Structure 1
Amino acid sequence: MAANGKTPNRRLTALMVETGVSNKGLASRMREASVRSNGERIATTHTTIAKYLSGIISQPGQRSCDVLISVLTELTGRDLIPADVGYPQVSVSTPQGLSNSDEGFESPLVIAARLQQISSTDVDDGVLDIIDFALTDILLRYELEGPRRLAPEVFALRRRIEVLRKQTRHPLQLHRLYVLAAKLSGTLGYMAVNRGRFGHARIYCREAFGIASLIDDSGLQGWIRGTESFCAYYVGDFKQAADLARDGVRYAGNGPQSVRLYSNGLARALGKLGDADGVEEVIAVAMSLSTMHSPSEGLTPALTFDSYGAARLAANAATAFLSAGKFDRTLDYGQDVEKLVNESDSVWSRSLVRLDMATALIRSSRPDVEQAMQLGHEALMASDDRPIRSVWQRAHELGAVAKSVKVPEVKDYSDALREWSTRAKEFSALAAP
């Protein structure tokens, strides 16, 4: 019992949670239902519903209870009685329009009311526009602010979508809600990889893929497979990363997501598997597809639902050739994209391209250790305030490669890396692969 002596109506609360209807939404539906039934109109408000829930109103009148049960019956799809909504003492009537006819078929008024409810919605298109804008804004801010700061905003949007989905019946709006839900869950999966939370990344991607499958959005399914491949790559399961990227291509075809799947997914995984010829072939395909989709000349964001641009593709090619042992190709691609990376807002790309070039310089036939360590220091400084898993991992890979060279510059980099790593843990939950 509540402190004020009133008993909260837990049955009604449970039904409202089940259906996702708000106090305001339930009150509105009840007013509309009372009009459609041609009976006495009721003036229920959200305040009335709040009093029902808290127990301040211990029992509604017969007419209000009739309408309440009618509305909740439609929302749940179950035949409810007064006890189901927490009012076992109320005797409800069966006015025309709220019950079946004597002939065993529903009254035309009931059918008309259901049709009206199917074609109506509690969600304004403007609300969905705002959520769509909010997601786009997060993607644009992502590399400036990072996953640690922005993930809570994505959580909030995802929860809001779930509430709206339960309230919505309009097919077009439901489709749009499912697209947003899949994108938000996929975004959380991508963010989880950047924070080293690989288990969460897999779960979010599984949820996103399931939602995208419900609406048969093959482009979105391809994007999610690309994110799963991205996760497998940083876990160290390169065969799975390649398999997921290939499966993503099956969904994406030659569409916009194919460039990312070939370059970020398949080529990098094949490089780690030592398939240099495969990397050459896949990067060539990605380059061809890139021209089809008219990519931006600048550095497109890493977290985007649009196609990768040529500069982003080249940065991934540098990484793939580095793993495949084609160090000259890594330096060529790195130098090609370096200017665009430096002009962009992407501190992570500045770090990653420098780290790839530094590793290639050490492992090439004519090593330049001094230049490599200079690039390594620059990479650490570029993303010092918001490091992510990929930067952390490649910075340590450079450190491991450099250890074989006994020169002061390497020791300086190792000391800087140790210090940087301590600070990085404050920003990223770095799970071991």
Structure 2
Amino acid sequence: MVVSDEIRAAQRVLGHQLAQMRKAAGHTQHDFARLVRYGRSSVANTETGHQRPDRTFWTRCDEILQTGGVLATEYDKITTLIRQRHRSSAIQGTRTTSLPRPDMDVGASSDVVAAGAVLWEGEDSIEARRLALRSSTDDVRLAYLEEEVRHAVADNERLSPGVLLARIKPLRVYVDQLMAGSQHPPQRARLYTAAAYLSGLLGALTLDLGAFRVAQAYAAEAFDLADAAQQADVQAWARATQSLIAYYGGNYHDALAYAQDGLRRAGTSPHRIRLTINGQARALARLGDQRGVDQAVDHAFTMLSDYPSSPPVSESLTLGPYCHARTAANAATAYLALGRTAGVTNHLTSAITAFDAAGLAGPQALSRLDLATAHLQRPDPDPDQAADLAVEALTLTAEQRFESVHQRARQFLTASQEYTHRPPLRHVAELLADRTQIGAATPSDLPSLP
């Protein structure tokens, strides 16, 4: 039987998928050939689609690469396609000698059969083509990716950025491998959506590690993927992440622009709260727009009433609505940037209570640092209490690297310059200096801006 172009293409895709998985696992062709007990040339020819080993080869590949049977499943699909093609060819060879069906007019049967051989295809041929259109990314894999995204969003701030980054990065590589296959448009959209969320998460995590340029690249990729998927809700989520990264990079106009574009795309999405309070209000505060901050804060708290069943503390990169605690904490950050401490303490007290109950070190530290700054800005400043709060914040996050905490601690020290002679304030500066030195001494392939 002559192998069709369609089957050859499927074999090339499977070979390419093997090559990508092998490289991602760190194996050379020579090493991998030894592990699967085949020759190196066989592995090389299989990866280019020029050789078609049996199923045993693919099951060994799955075991070594720990794919969960992905490669053998794709081999089975190609085998099914070949069988269908073979059956179709055999049926087409006998089509012109077929007898008329009992329900066919005998006088016209020969004309109909002859015409049918020219005008339409056999049902087996159609079925074979339908099977060829089946996606190499089935719903099981997509559901797995989507569940992993939800777990990663939930684990952000609970696990250290480096640990979570190491878990998500291979998933992002896996998505690229799946994209090398073919999917129906709805599955393709789901695949692009999962990729967008993973890239956005990687952007936020590299931001935590101080790698601003890498974070910006990941976040831009997240938006492009969301745009390609034509998912407005995901576009809004990605814009919120871009706004976050721009804010901590000191690019407040960009942070505001991303937040506003996200709001235009969000429609009635719950991401409106995060875009408004975390993106818009804080950027406006840094740009000195007091009226804009008031409007954004009021709007964010108004929108909270649309989601009465939201959890006590939402995830920082939540796929749903922001919670009251995060909204209050971000409002306090915005007002502190404007030097307006009235009401800030109430916002922060309620936020700290919620963050402490949830055991989220990052938000616990950030809120304490803001409250410490508020103590310095009161008519009757209390630098010692402020220092105690700052020490608590740095102690809470001693085992985790959060660029946001480091920035907020530096801002606190700037605000407390007139009290630097006090031992508690000197202790805060020493703690921050020690952490900076530890971070600088840790080997990393993630570039950081000065």
Sort the TM-score into its range (normalised by shorter chain).
Answer: 0.7 to 0.9
Q: Decide whether aligned partners of structure 1 residues 252 and 368 sit closer, same or farther in structure 2, where only a CA change above 3 A counts.
A: same
Deviation at 1:105, TM superposition (A): 9.8
Quote the Cα distance in structure 1 between the aligned partners of 2:164 and 2:219: 18
* In structure 1, C-alpha distance between the alignment counterparts of 2:118 and 2:220, rounded to whole Å: 48
TM-aligned CA deviation for residue 9 of structure 1: 7.0
Deviations 1:85-109 (A, max 9, x none): xxxxxxxxxxxxxxxxx98998875
Correspondences of 1:298-317 after superposition (within 5 Å): 298-317=312-331
Deviation at 1:179, TM superposition (A): 1.5
Pairwise CA distance, 1:32: 1.8
**Which one of the candidate residues 376, 382, 385 is aligned to 1:371?**
385
Q: 1 CA distance for matches of 2:39 and 2:172?
A: 37
Contact 2:214 2:447 in 1 (8 A): no
Quick one: which of 186, 196, 220 aligns to 2:200? 186
> What is the distance in 1 between the residues matched to 2:392 and 2:405?
12
Counterpart in 1 of 2:434?
Answer: 419
Indicate conservation of the 8 Å contact 2:361/2:396, yes or no. yes
The residue number in structure 2 matching 1:384 is 398
Give, in angstroms, the shift of residue 332 of structure 1.
Answer: 2.6
Report if the CA contact (8 A) 1:328-1:360 is conserved.
Answer: no
Could you tell me which runs of 5 or more consecutive residues in structure 2 were left unpaired when the two chains were aligned: 1-28, 51-68, 90-116
Match of 1:140 in 2: 154
Paired with 1:137 and 1:26, the residues of 2 have a C-alpha distance of 27
What amino acid does structure 1 have at the position aligned with 2:241? T
Is 1:235 aligned to 2:252, yes or no? no
The 1:197/1:104 distance shift into structure 2, 3 A limit, reads farther
Give the conservation status (yes or no) of the 8 Å contact 1:276–1:326.
Answer: no
Equivalent residues of 2:188, 2:229 under 8 A apart: no
- Pick one of 176, 184, 191 that aligns with 1:177: 191
Aligned to 2:222: 208
| TM-score using structure 1 length | 0.77
1:235 shift after superposition: 0.8
Task: Note the aligned Cα RMSD (angstroms).
Answer: 3.1
1:33-53 CA-to-partner distances (Å, cap 9, x unmatched) read: 332223699xxxxxxxxxxxx
1:345-364 C-alpha deviation (Å, 9 max, x unpaired): 21011100010111121123
Match of 1:57 in 2: none
CA distance in 1, matches of 2:398, 2:182: 44
**Aligned residue in 2 for 1:38:** 86
**Correspondence for 1:114 among 101, 121, 129:** 129
* Equivalent pair of 2:240/2:258 in contact (CA under 8 Å): yes
Q: CA–CA distance in 1 between the matches of 2:337 and 2:313?
A: 22
Match of 2:97 in 1: none
What residue in structure 2 maps to residue 432 of structure 1? 449
Q: Which deviations, in whole Å up to 9, do the C-alpha atoms of 1:118-159 show, x marking residues without a partner?
A: 2x2344423322222222222222222122001121111112
Query: For 2:290 and 2:439, how far apart are their aligned partners in 1?
Result: 33
Task: Output the CA distance in 2 between the equivalents of 1:355 and 1:373.
Answer: 9
Hey, what does 2:6 align to over in structure 1?
Answer: none
Taking structure 2 as the reference length, the TM-score comes to: 0.75
Looking at structure 2, the residues matched to 13 and 107 of structure 1 have their Cα atoms a distance apart, in angstroms, of: 33
CA change 1:378–1:225 in 2 (3 A) is same
Secondary structure class of the residue paired with 2:313: coil
The offset of 1:427, in angstroms, is 9.5
**Larger mean Cα displacement after TM superposition, 150-159 or 132-141:** 132-141
Measured in 2, the distance between the counterparts of 1:337 and 1:280 equals 19
- Give matches, 1:325-340, under 5 Å: 325-340=339-354
- Per the alignment, residue 72 of structure 2 pairs with 24
1:358 maps to amino acid? A
| Distance in 2 (alpha carbons) for counterparts of 1:260 and 1:26 | 41
Between the aligned residues of both structures, percent identity stands at 29
Question: SS at the partner of 1:143?
Answer: coil
Residues 198 and 283 of structure 1: CA distance in aligned 2, closer, same or farther (over 3 Å): same
1:34-433 residue pairs with structure 2 within 5 A? 34-38=82-86, 110-118=125-133, 120-294=134-308, 296=310, 298-405=312-419, 406-425=421-440, 426=442, 431-432=448-449
Tell me, in whole angstroms, the C-alpha distance in 1 between the residues paired with 2:71 and 2:331: 54
Call closer, same or farther: CA 1:15–1:258 in 2, change over 3 Å.
farther
**Closer, same or farther in 2 for the Cα pair 1:335/1:34, shift >3 Å?**
closer
Aligned to 1:14: 48
Q: Does the 8 Å CA contact 2:240/2:274 hold for their aligned counterparts?
A: yes
Letter in 1 for 2:427: D
For structure 1, which runs of at least 5 residues remain unmatched after alignment?
42-101
Contact 2:74 2:136 in 1 (8 A): no
Task: Give the conservation status (yes or no) of the 8 Å contact 1:276–1:325.
Answer: no
Q: Secondary structure at the match of 2:418?
A: coil
Q: Give the counterpart letter for 2:449 in structure 1.
A: A
| Amino acid of the structure 1 residue aligned with 2:76 | S
The AA in structure 2 aligned to 1:419 is: D
Amino acid at match of 1:410: L
Match of 2:225, SS? helix
Contact 2:81 2:131 in 1 (8 A): no
SS state of the match for residue 312, structure 2? coil
Alpha-carbon distance between aligned partners in 2 of 1:414 and 1:357, rounded to the nearest angstrom: 17
Q: Which moved more, 1:409-418 or 1:315-324?
A: 409-418
Displacement of 1:111 in angstroms is: 4.7
Deviations 1:258-303 (A, max 9, x none): 0000110010111111112211110001111111123535121212
* Contact preservation (8 Å) 2:212, 2:449: no
Which amino acid letter does the alignment assign opposite residue 423 of structure 1?
I
Query: How big is the shift at 1:212?
Result: 1.1
Equivalent pair of 2:81/2:132 in contact (CA under 8 Å): no
Contact 2:211/2:449, CA 8 A, preserved across alignment: no
The question of whether the paired residues in 1 share the 8 Å contact of 2:369 and 2:408 is answered with yes
Q: Assess if the C-alpha contact under 8 Å between 1:295 and 1:309 holds in 2.
A: no
One-letter code of the match for 2:195? A
The answer to whether the 8 A contact 2:153-2:317 is kept is yes
How far is the alpha carbon of 1:243 from its aligned partner? 1.2
